[in-house]
Chain A
């Protein structure tokens, strides 16, 4: 039985893609790698548990969320806007990377990863967290717990997480607007 084919179009890293004909049960990860040639998103567990495949889904209301591309159907994301690890850095006219995002830079500075297999998912999860804090800052003394809770689902097998989490915490604490005073009574928030 040949699977039913559907036509999809979406916005990926700000650029329109499609319409493309795909099998109706094609997963988003395979769509990115085989149809759009964006190979940075990684296939890890294939069950949406390790989040190496995590990509960013931009909702219509301006919020963003992490979505496991390995178990999310491409057809389900028809008409939506997503971002992958390839979409964070600023690029020059020929597509060359000219400037990394603050999260990407922090991961390099902290030597957060070794084999890098999980890194695309960590970059996207941390970026979603930063964007959430832009909308709803947390008290500075809650940053540690906030980072742990937000990044807890991403699995890494090399560095033991500490350098990833420290990098994310440093970006949040050093970026104005992501935190408010620990005592809202004494400081304007």
Chain B
């Protein structure tokens, strides 16, 4: 008996020793290349130029989306981020010495963004998208650091993460890194692709970290190889934005560029966590960068014939008689006043539904949530704005909601009208009853 205990203890010690060796030898930060500028020797003009570049990097990387405060103060931290393991709060990244990153060097910022490791050696949670930022250019980090250090410090304490066991064991992230953090921070050039394509890949996959929401995740909550093919995150579906997915729902490069710049296109307007992307990031991209982004996103897109046949312009029109009659009654009674009897919408007020992509998604989650909860009035980029859409949670029961969702799916979505009242009830329960 005593001997067995000794053997077990020995085995446990051996496992721990192996883990310790792996932890120490393989999960730390990798190389940190030297800074691209001599920070101490910068002239005023050079400094100002780099700060401006850093501001652009911060926007393209959408730092504010997660690092703003609950009351909207950019970079001061506090915004909750819901994960299946609990809630994390964006941290203070202003140059506050006590609560922010005032004492960080540019190397420290690089180590955090590329390797996911704080200056004190502790691990960042992968909610900070270092697996995407991993390939950030050192020159961009240097400019970003100068920009962040030039911002006004905000002395606002960070709020600790509220994660469930065992996800609250920070050192364990080292082992997640071992499996899912890429090794080489370089980003290999792809032969035959244009400069614009490469810039687009950098904007989409690295700075923009689009895949953090749009790429399906595995059980370890790491991104899978189904690049940008859509994932439910924070209670809403981030749709499939692979070339096939985009084309199937009727996106064109021009429309997608307009959507990212203005927040609105025939395919719809930004909702859920995509709206802050417009607000803090995509509206600021240069025309060249926007072109690069859509060039990369549409690369390899199938030809016109590949568009979902049910949505093609030459598809046989769906007969009113084929549509669910109860859904029609509800649509005309509650929706058509703003969205039009034929789904044509009203300019600057309510989006057209005949080209909207929400009803085209297999998963009815977003469609049902928007009907139930509505959309707040939004100021979009430029002169554009959309009026508030009321929520209908208190007007429609689950059967009516399902009938209405099915009407839109069949009429404009090219999807089957197979949403059940039970599905609607499940969505309702998960989102405020």
Contacts and interface: CB of A to CB of B under 8 A. Distances in A.
A82 interface: no
Contacts of A25: 332, 336, 341
Interface residues of B, number: 16
Given A70-B337, A71-B337, A49 B332 contact: no
B329 A75 contact: yes
Given A25-B341, A47-B387, A72 B346 contact: no
A72 B337 contact: yes
Tell me what chain A mostly uses at the interface: helix, strand, loop, or mixed: loop
Interface string A34-65: 00000000000101110000000000000000
A111 interface: no
A24 B332 contact: yes
A73 B387 contact: no
B58 to A, nearest CB: 35
Contacts of A73: 332-334, 336-337
A75 B326 CA distance: 12
B173 to A, nearest CB: 45
Interface in A52-103: 68, 70-73, 75-77
B349 A47 contact: yes
Contacts of B338: 47-48, 71
A39 B330 CA distance: 26
Contacts of B388: 49
Interface residues of A, number: 16
Contacts of B377: 49
A123 interface: no
A4 to B, nearest CB: 8
A70 B346 CA distance: 14
Contacts of A143: none
A77 B329 CA distance: 10
A129 interface: no
Interface of B: 329-330, 332-334, 336-338, 341, 346, 349-350, 377, 387-388, 390
Interface of A: 3, 24-25, 27, 45, 47-49, 68, 70-73, 75-77
